Structure 1
Amino acid sequence: MAPPQRFREQFDQIQRSMPDVPLAMGPDDSAEFFYEKGVVLARDGEEARLVEDTVREHFTAAPGLTAEHVRRAGPETNRTGVTRIQVGDPARGDHRGDPAVANALRSLRAAESRTGRRLVSRNHVVHIAVNACPGDEPVPVPRSEQPNPAPAGTPYDPETAVGVLVVDTGLMADHRDCPLLAHTRGDAQIQECDEAGVLQQYVGHGTFIAGLLAAVAPNTDITVRNTLNDAGAILESEFGAKLFEAVDQGGWPAVLSLSAGTSNGRTDGLLGIQAFMEELRDQETLLVAAAGNNGSATPFWPAAYADLPGWESAVLSVGALRGDGEYGACFTNHGAWVKAYAPGERLVSALTGFRTPVPYVYQHSTYDTCRYGFGYSCTCRTPRHTGVLSEPGEVPGKPDQVMFEGYAQWSGTSFAAPVAAGLVAAHMTAQGEADPRKARAQLLAANAEYAEVRGAHVPALLPPTWRPVPVDPPDEAA
């Protein structure tokens, strides 16, 4: 199947945000993930040397490549335990796969079979879960409209507040003008608008997530880190170190809310964050991670660690329900590795413009039909707008511009995850439970709500203050 056009549009946007890193789309020419061209990852030390030697020998007879292409492209040792190894001339990024990287991976298959251990990996792009194939773009909401979920009744108490860390894009400059975010702290968004004063895509992502968390669980101390500041994307080789940096700044929190990840075509996790995940496993922190928006059953990492032995209690993977809460949203990833679902379609939270209205120009046009084959009024189709980008051969109309004045409506598993994280934190407060992993287990055990996702009945975590959004037609169509 040819890569979806929206995925190609996102590839181009991420490539523009990372101009010095040539990217490829994979695996091969399909639209499943993005990765760095000409580079593979290996564990430090003997394994990295084995990878170098094996790839160099393999490439001696390969056309257009020489052994000199194979060299270290990263530090010998670091906290994440991985090294970048260049295996070819990356040249320029494009929508195709990278044969040099594919050949390097194949050259290590025999060694991996002998050791029973993965030795090499692509250097994937980890992105916020609305970035590659997003649920939609934000829609302005009047200030007179309540957030959805609405603020719960539990007051903020600094003595008992549950610590929640959000690793995402930074906070908008006017976020404290939203009453929900009066106690939120962390990193500022580095650049909110472009040279013309127009809001850049995704910059309010972390602020929106913080607003959802504060609404579902007001008795929380929320810290937001701008780890994913550049278009919500970062290389896997850098992501593990950034996660360590985020927890080192304030210590391991009770709950870590993460709305980012990538698939990699495998079922054993990401090499670049394995050291972080192993340390997480030995902490008390609960990682609540978004399942991704590719409409796929392919594992999306790190959310899919929830299905790996040793991480079952440490990670909660969260998919998105559509507006009425009865079925899965058209875009949500799904499968046995997704352990719970929460509202993730047309939620309302803080964005920006509380002080001064801020313009935004849509980047993507809506579709005539759902990209995933569903028949209800999903976010692929409504609300209608014309974006800067368009399908090949189309003549786009003038892109629509809107003004944000505080609140927005937005969709994605990016937002289902903090709703679930908020429910865990609220349970900790209500039950006096200090252990977030026990709170996760108790919350799921006590849950009586279910939804249908691709024919499976799954746990539906519905906040008491969440207002369902009517869906037309009401029945699932795919």
Structure 2
Amino acid sequence: MFDQQARLERLLARHRDAVVVEPLAGRPALVRRDQVLVAGDDAAAAEDLVRRWFDSRQDEHGVTRLRLRAPAKVDVCELAAQLAGDGRHRRLSVSPNHLVHGQPLWWSGPADLPRATAAVPVPVPQPAEARREVTVAVLDTGLDPHPWYEGADWFADQRAEVAEVLDADLDYELDAQAGHGTFVAGVILRYAPSARIRARRVIGGDGVGDELEVIRALRWLSDWGGADVINMSLGCHTFDDRPSPVLARALAALGRRTVVVACAGNAACDRPFWPAALKSVVGVGALDARAEDRAWFSNYGWWVDASAAGVDVTSCFVRFDGPRGRVNGIDPDRFEGYATWSGTSFAAPAVAGRIAAVAASEDLPAMVAADRVLDPAASPTRPDLGVIIRG
């Protein structure tokens, strides 16, 4: 258990443009102050409506960020709701720039920190015979070299900027979620050893990013050539508990060739967590250590499509030696490339990996492979947990 208020204070100190908003009592969210995102073709209309608070406009492929003047002290949630239109039917695709978080840790409901594993916890994945090449995009903290894959040609193609940032604040401690992307990639490879991983850093080592960076990554991935499966072990609650129409549009632009898998979040509640709760996304919750029931920290609800093991998951990790000494013969902050971790963050790639493996071994489109993996006739189902994925 962690001091959540202290974690929130550290987050706000590190991200000074972030603010906690709570238009719905008891349902907080985090957004970037004075920023509004607009789908590209709605940008001109939105800019005209915010003219008196307008500071600057940044246009990118398919999305525009409008910055508002700080002295105006505009409530970006109220503004986004007004710009979208009255009532439940939106006319403009507008959203505050929500912060997104990796999901072993989140300030409203943590799982745990990674624990070093000295020995190789699972066998090195051996590429299986595949009938076609399958690419899995990992939008996360990045990807570090590791014996499991550093000799693979797909890893050699990765750019230097995807490397994990281990200690961004230079306090000699491993950042709270540094290694998250490497760990997630390892989980995918355990189930789909022949998969080609394509990494993109969208959250920092503290586990925090924003909606705009995710949208940028989706566009980058589309320009690069796309992927069969996208794993996003991150997400957020939104200010109005409705999906961001800007992010939803960016995901829809991927088309039906791509399956998107996202974690359900760790707040132990049924409040929709985005993008996992989108109809087009496979939302994944976490099962307990016996893979029989919900892990205590996992979100749940009508919007969860599947659940997989998320407690004491083992995978590859970064190498790092922190300042703490040995305790009872164990060095708690010395990592030698392997770790054990818990969270819905690690249930999601177990499902993404299974989908990739079926697509590769049976030469199937990713969408067809997902239907196989998530077939309720072939696996048990549980209320609020979806299809139970074991093994």
TM-score (norm: length of structure 1): 0.70
The aligned counterpart of 1:359 is: 322
Question: Which whole-Å deviations, capped at 9, do the CAs of 1:29-66 have from their partners, x for residues lacking one?
Answer: 7463211223433444343045316xxxxxxxxxxxxx
Is 133-142 or 407-416 further displaced after alignment?
133-142
TM-superposed deviation, 1:182: 4.0
Residues 322 and 329, structure 1, Cα contact 8 Å, conserved in 2: yes
Larger radius of gyration: 1
- Residue in structure 2 matched with residue 124 of structure 1 by the alignment: 98
Question: Superposition pairs for residues 10-49 of structure 1, below 5 Å?
Answer: 10-19=7-16, 21-27=17-23, 30=26, 32-43=28-39, 44-49=42-47
| Letter in structure 1 aligned against 2:64 | V
Distance of 2:37 and 2:262 partners within structure 1: 23
Residue 407 of structure 1 aligns with which residue? 338
Tell me what 1:291 maps to: 264
2:33 equivalent to 1:9:
no
Which of 345, 359, 371 matches 1:441?
A: 371
Q: Residue 231 of structure 2 contacts residue 348 of structure 2 at CA under 8 Å; is this kept in 1?
A: yes
Q: Counterparts of 1:239 and 1:317 in 2: how far apart (Å)?
A: 17
Q: Structure 1 residues 26 and 153, CA, compared in 2 at 3 Å: closer, same or farther?
A: same
Unaligned stretches of 5+ residues in structure 2: none
CA contact (8 A) 2:301 2:385 kept: no
Q: CA deviation at 1:171?
A: 1.7
Change (3 A) 1:138 1:257: same
Q: Which consecutive unaligned segments of at least 5 residues does structure 1 have? A: 54-66, 92-98, 362-384, 386-399, 464-478
User: Does residue 151 of structure 2 align to residue 169 of structure 1?
Assistant: no
Residue 141 of structure 1: how far off its partner (Å): 1.5
Aligned to 2:333, what secondary structure does the other structure show? strand
Deviation of 1:352 (Å): 2.0
Aligned equivalents of 1:196, 1:156: Cα separation in 2? 45
**Contact 1:257 1:289 (C-alpha < 8 Å) held by counterparts:** yes
Counterpart check, 1:79 vs 2:61:
yes
Q: Which runs of 4+ in 1 moved over 6 A?
A: none
Once residues 114 and 140 of structure 1 are traced to their aligned partners in structure 2, the CA distance between those partners, rounded to angstroms, is 48
- Assess, with a 3 A threshold, how the Cα gap between structure 1 residues 181 and 403 changes in structure 2: closer, same or farther: same
Within a 5 Å distance, the mapping from 1:189-204 to structure 2 comes to 189=163, 191-193=165-167, 195=170, 197-204=172-179
Is residue 238–residue 244 contact of structure 2 (8 Å, CA) maintained in 1?
Answer: yes
Q: Does 1:205 align with 2:180?
A: yes
Residue 289 of structure 1: CA displacement?
Answer: 1.1
The aligned runs of 1:127-276 (5 Å cut-off) are: 127-132=101-106, 133-144=109-120, 146-147=121-122, 155=128, 160-172=132-144, 175-177=145-147, 179=148, 182-183=151-152, 185=155, 186-187=158-159, 188-189=162-163, 191-193=165-167, 195=170, 197-229=172-204, 231-249=206-224, 251-266=225-240, 268-276=242-250
Report Cα offsets for 1:167-216 as digits up to 9, x if no partner: 111122xx333x35542623543532354543222110000011111111
Judge conservation of contact 1:325–1:343 (CA < 8 Å) in 2: yes
Whole-Å Cα distance in 1 between the matches of residues 198 and 47 of structure 2?
40
Q: 1:82 to 1:422 in 2, by over 3 A?
A: same
1:24 maps to a residue whose letter is: V
* 1:387-414 CA-partner distances (Å, limit 9, x unpaired): xxxxxxxxxxxxx953212211101111
- The alignment-based identity, stated in percent, is 26
Q: Which residue of 2 aligns with 1:466?
A: none
Letter of the aligned partner of 1:14 in structure 2?
Answer: L
Aligned mates of 1:9, 1:457 — CA distance in 2: 31
Rounded Cα–Cα distance in structure 2 between residues aligned with 1:437 and 1:279: 15
CA RMSD of aligned residues (A): 3.2
Shift of 1:106: 6.1
CA distance in 2: counterparts of 1:283 and 1:405, whole angstroms: 39
Structure 1 residues 137 and 457, CA gap change in structure 2 (3 angstroms): closer
Alignment of 1:451-462 (within 5 A): 452=382, 456=384, 458-462=386-390
Number of residues paired by the alignment? 377
- 2:276 aligns with 303
Q: 1:360 to 1:346 in 2, by over 3 A?
A: farther
Query: Are the counterparts in 1 of residues 285 and 385 from structure 2 also a CA contact under 8 Å?
Result: no
Contact 1:265 1:299 in 2 (8 A): no
Contact (CA 8 Å) 1:447, 1:461: kept in 2 or not?
no
TM-score by length of 2: 0.84
For 1:329, the aligned partner's letter is A
Tell me how far apart the structure 2 counterparts of residues 248 and 285 of structure 1 sit (CA, whole Å). Answer: 14
Q: CA 1:50 to 1:340, structure 2 compared with 1: closer, same or farther past 3 Å? A: same
Distance of aligned partners of 1:40 and 1:457 in 2 relative to their CA distance in 1, 3 Å threshold:
closer
Cα deviation, residue 126, structure 1: 1.6
| 2:346 counterpart SS class | helix
Alignment of 1:383-422 (within 5 A): 401-422=332-353
Residue in 1 that maps onto 2:380: 450
- Match in the other structure for 1:327: 293
The DSSP-based 3-state class of the residue aligned with 1:224 is: strand
* Cα distance change of structure 1 residues 14 and 218 upon mapping to structure 2, 3 Å threshold: same
Closer, same or farther in 2 for the Cα pair 1:84/1:211, shift >3 Å? same
Q: 1:423 to 1:28 in 2, by over 3 A?
A: same
Offset of residue 462 of structure 1: 1.6
* Aligned-partner SS, 1:257: strand
SS at match of 1:304: coil
Q: How does 1:44-123 map to 2 (within 5 A)?
A: 44-49=42-47, 51-52=49-50, 67=52, 70-75=53-58, 77-86=59-68, 88-89=70-71, 100-105=75-80, 107-108=82-83, 111-113=85-87, 116-117=90-91, 120-123=94-97
C-alpha deviations, 1:318-342, integer Å up to 9, x for none?
1111111111111111111110011
